[in-house]
Chain A
Amino acid sequence: MDYMVKLENIQKSFGDNHILKGVELNIKKGEVVVILGPSGSGKTTLLRTINFLDAADEGSVCVNDFKVDAKKHNKAQVIELRRKTAMVFQNYNLFANKTILENVMEGLVTVKKFKKSDAEEMSRRILAKVGLSERCDFYPAQLSGGQQQRAGIARALILDPDVILFDEPTSALDPELVGEVLSTIKNVAQTGITMIVVTHEIAFAREVATRVIFMEGGKVVEQGPPEALLVHPKEPRTQQFLSRITGISESA
């Protein structure tokens, strides 16, 4: 079986703090995987080891048949791996010194060496798709959080990555802006691109995910289709987490 993303025995510590304790994960092309878990469970760190923003101490990351070993990786491999992935950040992290249009064009022009005119045309098209046609020439600081995050999604999408990594894309947003970003992500999911989403939005997971993973203590506790995991979790720890997060008392 060929996988789009394959993580083997990912281990990661920050000082004495052992964050990831041997995570294994295989993701097929087109899967939308939602990772849930309490804070400190390592889900964001796991996401960041995939594009080596945090290099794992042990294990290997493989994206679209390009495998990088955590223990003996070099700069060129890391850049190659990052060019197969894209990331949407919790705090958007749009390039502050560039307009929205330039933000989206940047990867195409600087990294993929597209002609500027082609890059601009593509960028305008994708910004229209996320509803930001009117905001192309604005700087990030002039936009709302929801608009910034939609631009962040456009910046990731345009690179046509093998997998998009979403790191709590709605956690920093005002509640009333969450909807617009989630519906944008939903539209992205329908295009069939492989996605890994770290989030606390249970309803979103249920609607959009093809698989839900529950992590705790640096390990995958339980995983399965959204209905099975979210409605009928097997592990007591998953049940406890879900009941707390949804505010419904424990049934088991």
Chain B
Amino acid sequence: MDFGFIMEAFPQIAAAIPVTLLMVFVSAGIGWVLGLAAALVRKNRTPVLSQILAVFVSFMRSVPSVIVLYIAYYVMPAVIYAYGQNIGWAIDINAVPPIAYAIFALTLSQAAYSSEVFRAAIAAVDEGQTEAAYSVGMTRAQALFRIVFPQAFATAMPNLGGLFVGLIKETSLAYYVGVYEITAVANLLSIPKLNFIEAYIMTTVVYEILSFLFNKCFRAGESRLKRFRANAAG
């Protein structure tokens, strides 16, 4: 074990945590909003859009994330470039930083996975809750935001927490498209003197700590959202 390497490399690896967290927060933030919207569209069985989303979700769930990332990184620039030429714009593809493609791919994957979580959670809210909201004269939006969503989120929390921790780990794939996040930095530092074991131990520790902390946050959020349930402390 090369402790000198660990002492030297750890601060640099830790310095990459913000890059990882940037990908996590942006992808989850945008992806979950899209996922919730997709869940509503599918619940309402909106024609055409609902079927398109079903195919999208099933595609995203069956293709490995790294492939989605490669598609985003290698195929999208070509498409954007061709589109730019079409409308007479010279778009400089190289000006787009790799992290943008990684966030794009991760956002789509979060949208797909979270839409299934939200769909199940919304379906678990008793139809009578919506009917009662309508009976006092609420609009559909009022019924959703004031009655259905708060109950659905309480149900969705454990799964969202799992999704979130999974996403933290998934950001390591961004290494493949040249994003200097935790895994990438550790790997690159380990190459000159072949300190792979040390590097992997450090990345493990960093991911473990991040997962632990965010798990705690989700647990706390869950018990707050579930305070209305009978078995919660009243």
With beta carbons under 8 angstroms apart, the residue of A79, A85, A95, A156 that contacts B147 is A95
Contact assessment for B136 and A159 in the assembled complex, using a CB-CB cutoff below 8 Å: yes
Cβ 8 A contact of B137, one of A91, A95, A107: A107
Across-interface contacts of A75 in B (CB, < 8 A): 139
Cβ of A85: which chain B residues have Cβ within 8 Å of it?
135
**Range class of the B interface residue count:** 20 to 34
Number of A-B contacts (CB under 8 A): 79
| Interface: B128 (CB within 8 A) | yes
Tell me, yes or no, whether B98 is within 8 Å of chain A by CB.
no
Interface residue A1 (Cβ < 8 Å from any Cβ of B)? no
Give min CB distance, B130 to chain A, whole Å.
Answer: 9
Give A11 to B136 CA distance when docked, in angstroms: 24
Partner of B135, one of A87, A139, A141: A87
* A51 adjacent to B132 (CB under 8 Å): no
Closest residue to A141 on the B side, CB-wise?
A: B230
Does chain B have a CB within 8 A of A168? no
A86 touches B136 (CB 8 A): yes
At the interface, yes or no: B126 with Cβ under 8 Å from chain A?
yes
Chain B min CB distance to A49 (Å): 13
| Chain B residues within an 8 Å CB radius of A110 | 136, 138, 142, 146
Bound together, the chains give a CA A6 to CA B142 distance in angstroms of 29
A125 within 8 A of B: no
Q: Across the two chains, which residue of chain A brings its CB closest to B231?
A: A141
Tell me whether B134 and A82 are in contact (CB under 8 A). Answer: yes
A-B CB proximity, top 5 nearest: A141-B230, A107-B136, A83-B137, A93-B132, A93-B128
Spell out B's residues near A (CB within 8 Å): 126, 128-129, 131-139, 142, 146-147, 150-151, 154, 227-230, 234
